[in-house]
Structure 1
């Protein structure tokens, strides 16, 4: 049975301050496709190196599928109970996207051939190093993941970022191509219980002015 969800729009600051990691979700809450797409669209406008958008969102809504991957996440119940689980993937071959993006910009007349060639050469040079490709995949997918969680909160839903899962088994279970690596798993839904309170370090311990 679907449960109704009351949406309260939040400002950016409210979303940042009120977002907490929730590990208990109400079952059977359905996020409307339109709202879910809005969340994903907001996540997808995150910044990225060379504008390569090195993330992909593997969206799992089917209850049987969520139940199937729960053991891969070491039995964490939120994977089954959340409305949606988004597996944020990082792209190890984003240079392919780079060629597509800059070819489109050239064809549209937004950049000259020289800039297109320079950018593509930069990207392909960087991505010839496996470690650079992996670092970029993790870094940029992380930016999109954070933006996704804030977007969900702004739309009235709760999330929890998860790194506790067997990546190799997830790749096998979901047929994830070698091009992509699982960076994070993010359940989205309506909290059944608030997240645990957390303490934050003061700025005096976090901020270094000018130099150490």
Structure 2
């Protein structure tokens, strides 16, 4: 199993670029990709319900199916080791019992805390409107996606987050129920063949309000 190739936070964070062209002959082993996803899944989420779901498109057949759905992002699709389709599961709260029971079994939470948390979850989350639920789970998936990209850099890979894709067709194209799984973002991943451009950021005094 591969381990972090670098573990310097500033380098990982400030050296991240949106890379659009990759070494097309480099394949990320599936056990390594699984570990990257596992590490990224330590991201926080509302009530720890972890609504993100990942479709890893790393086969020639899968890439061919995805290509007409990624609009102007075909370079990433054609050259990356994989395209990671990040979906939000509308039925995310159904895993609450499993997650919280496992936390008790592993000694991470006392049973009385689990019971209080589950009571709140079961009363609150299933009653959310679709719009409000989407706000919650898209936010959570954003946290996961950012952590995924930083984790990829620690393993020696580069990424590019993409919002340009046919969202209304993506779930069904990859055999997911479109009523349950909402596409959030696509992330390409692989070994960079071309460096991404550095970008400008607004200064703190342009984005911060002190009160």
Relative to the length of structure 1, the TM-score reads: 0.88
Contact 2:159-2:189 within 8 A present in 1 as well: yes
Q: Which of 83, 103, 109 is the equivalent residue of 2:81? A: 83
In the TM superposition, 1:92-131 aligns within 5 A as: 92-106=90-104, 110-112=109-111, 114-127=112-125, 128-130=127-129, 131=131
Matches within 5 A, 1:19-98: 19-76=16-73, 77-98=75-96
Deviation sequence 1:79-121 (CA, Å, 0-9, x none): 1210011111112122111122223345667423x43332123
SS at match of 1:70: helix
Matches within 5 A, 1:140-155: 140-155=140-155
Q: Matched residue pairs, number? A: 203
Q: How far apart are 1:45 and its partner, in Å? A: 0.7
Partner of 1:197: 198
1:126–1:133 contact (8 Å) kept in structure 2: no
Q: CA deviation at 1:9?
A: 1.8
Instruction: Report the counterpart of residue 181 of structure 2 in structure 1.
Output: 180
In the alignment, structure 1 residue 168 sits paired with structure 2 residue 165: no
- 5 Å-filtered alignment, 1:3-14, equals 8-14=5-11
Structure 2: unaligned runs, 5 residues or longer: none
Question: What 5-or-longer segments of structure 1 have no aligned partner?
Answer: 1-6
Q: Judging changes above 3 Å, is the alpha-carbon distance between structure 1 residues 108 and 149 closer, same or farther for their aligned structure 2 residues?
A: closer
TM-score, normalised to structure 2, is: 0.88
| Change in 2 beyond 3 A, CA 1:108/1:14 | closer
Tell me how far apart the structure 2 counterparts of residues 120 and 136 of structure 1 sit (CA, whole Å): 17
Comparing 89-98 and 32-41, the one that deviates more: 32-41
Q: CA RMSD in A?
A: 1.9
Alignment-derived partner of residue 3 in structure 1: none
Greater shift, 69-78 or 30-39, is seen at 30-39
User: For residue 159 of structure 1, what is the aligned residue in structure 2?
Assistant: 159
Please identify runs of 4+ aligned residues in structure 1 that moved more than 4 A: 106-109
